[in-house]
A = this chain, B = another copy of it.
């Protein structure tokens, strides 16, 4: 009733990507007993400019009070609702290598309505083992998980070589949102969302900027390696 539902169709992707950060910042304020924040304070905590924050929030409605700021709990709830975190999301992790192990134990998932309901692997030796309190199950369990547990999100933590097969199996079972940690591009039909997290990509981007800073500082490239030039 307060917000106009028809006006908030189409929140920009860039905004959606920042909402989780705002939410985390708000949680931090709430934990310290702060009940009200200005856009300036919240923006600083989230690492953005206040104008950007205000424009982002304006896409979900008008939840601030002019001259005062935002009520922490209320804004946190509104963002949670917009992101779909007021319901819980059953998640399955596929691929129980080092990374899958770490993800299964990662506490950050549970804190936001995400519930890891199954760990899957195609390696027969692993199946049946218990990791972080859950048994490792075979890929054939997928269809049942979607039907019985409402599984909606799949996390792929396998090597790149098997990622596409796993992805196909997830899609066949009815999973339409996939988080891919394997370093490869996945082909999916329309209506399926894939987000990719690539650890080595991030390092490469850092290396680019690091090289750039080194060059600016007066080093020079010799045979593709940085050599410091005698400066003074």
Contacts and interface: CB of A to CB of B under 8 A. Distances in A.
The prevalent SS among residues of A at the interface is helix
Size bin of chain A's contact surface: 35 or more
16 contacts: A16-B205, A19-B204, A25-B185, A84-B212, A85-B207, A86-B225, A87-B224, A87-B225, A98-B106, A99-B106, A101-B102, A103-B199, A108-B199, A108-B200, A195-B205, A197-B199
Nearest to A48: B185
* Copies of this chain assembled into the complex: 2
A83 interface: yes
- Max chain B Cβ within 10 angstroms of own Cβ: one of A21, A106, A153, A203: A203
Contacts of A103: 199
A52 to B, nearest CB: 14
A21 B183 CA distance: 9
Interface stretch (A109-117, A122-130, A135-143, A166-174): A109-117
B152 A210 contact: yes
B98 A201 contact: no
B204 A179 contact: no
Contacts of A179: 202-203, 206
B177 A91 contact: no
A207 B80 CA distance: 10
B111 A45 contact: no
